[in-house]
Amino acid sequence: MIKIAFIGAGSVQFTTAVVKDLTTYPAFDKAEICLMDINSYRLGEITRCVERIKREMESNIVITATTSREEALTGADGVICTVFNGDVDIWRHEIEIPMKYGVNINVGDTRSVSGIFRALRNIPLMLDICRDVERICPNAVMLNYTNPMVMLCKAMQTYTKVDVTGLCHSVQGTSKMLAEWAGVDYEKVDYTCVGINHMAFFTKLQAGDTDLYPILAQKIDTPEYYNKEKVRNEIFKTFGYYVTESSGHNSEYTPWFRKRPDLVRRYCDPAGANWNPGEYAYSLKLRQDPDRFDKLVKTFMETPLVKERGQEYAANILNARLGDGTPFRFNANVLNNGSVENLPYDACVEIPVTATKEGYTRNFQGKLPTSVAPLVAYTAGIENLTVEAFEKKSKKLVYQAVSMDPLCSAVLSLQEVRDMCDEIFAANGDYLADYR
């Protein structure tokens, strides 16, 4: 019997999506789905959701639930990780303290000052999980959904021997969006996407022999399409390639959109954009709702179940690695090792790979276009520096990483960066007290 362990199973959207997709594969029809969460209430509720999936998908999966990570990992062949170290009150400090200094954060889970501190909090937990995997189920395939993806995967792949990669849905989500904008059948779209997580660029985007970029360039010259993704469309207009993550996220990754209130109003206006236009503390506001988890469960339980396989990669990868072995191509987060020649050799990059029974075969060797490579390489360097700061428990290296962050450097002096970081260190005392 194949066993898939979900560590941090209380993530309603990810857990239900991946379990549903697993039930569409015959190889997992009798698999054990072990749900693990340290919050027993959430564990009970997510178990109800998965039982509904089993019932409506007419699956023979065996559902188990535990608050013990060791129990969940015992005998596991696959591990899905969706954890979060700390609570909303800790995360709040990493959003609100920067705002005092004029650093306006949208989500704050991936990069800039809040993403850096989130990495410092989460890396120890991720390494603890990996060490348990090494000890309990060393041959397991581990897939990570926790952000900040680059820095967590960089740490796990550098300091452990676990077979781990990170997954994000921004590549497939953006490619589908662009196909819709261009008016072409998504099944006919052929693309290559290269860079780092949330800052990967479509270096090839075509349908048959038709290059879709000229079509998209015309589309975004109209208000109808320009207003859907103002930040990403501005980046595309200047640099010539489309980036994967939403406008809100990208507005906090660069120096151009959030350094002045007038720019925030112009480019991050909720009135005319997709799901994440870039308003201040967007995700934090959602998670400050004490009833959010219950609302998500209620919505899932009352919404008709879509039985077709969804867009998350995890089930397809696990089928390739553990199931019938059908190869599956996707964008994975892996150590560069020279695959992208003009990015740091030891950076964690997001590149196309193919999953098979034997592992992951890289499908890219080359360079990012010269127009976008400097931004991506610069950001990758900051993320490498952050992981080094964790390894050495060095406040000085954290100051350096935050000082070089594009948004922080557009707004703050070096002394202000140090003062801001010191406030965040003090607020995160339970997690970062060993930094000197």
Residues 6 or more apart whose CB falls under 8 angstroms from that of 346 comprise: 158, 335, 336, 337, 384
d(CA 396, CA 399) in angstroms, rounded, equals 5
Degrees to nearest 5, angle at CA 165 with 30 and 150: 145
Cα(255)–Cα(387) distance, rounded to whole angstroms? 22
Alpha-carbon distance of 118 to 386, in angstroms, equals 11
For residue 244, the SS3 value is coil
Backbone angles phi, psi at 5, to 5 degrees: -100, 130
Q: Which of 93, 169, 198, 249 is catalytic?
A: 169
**Do 353 and 360 touch, CB atoms closer than 8 A?**
yes
**Residues 372/239, Cβ–Cβ less than 8 Å:** yes
* Residue 140 to residue 130: CA distance in whole angstroms: 10
Give the C-alpha distances (Å, rounded to integers) separating 26 from 32, 175, 357: 13, 28, 16
Active site residue 93: no
Residue whose tokens read 């740490």: 155
d(CA 255, CA 405): 9
Asked if residues 340 and 348 have their Cβ atoms less than 8 Å apart, the reply is no
Task: Decide: helix, strand or coil at residue 186.
Answer: helix
343 CB-near residues (< 8 Å, 6+ apart): 195, 196, 336, 349, 368, 373, 376, 377, 380
CA distance 203 to 315: 26
Catalytic residues: 169
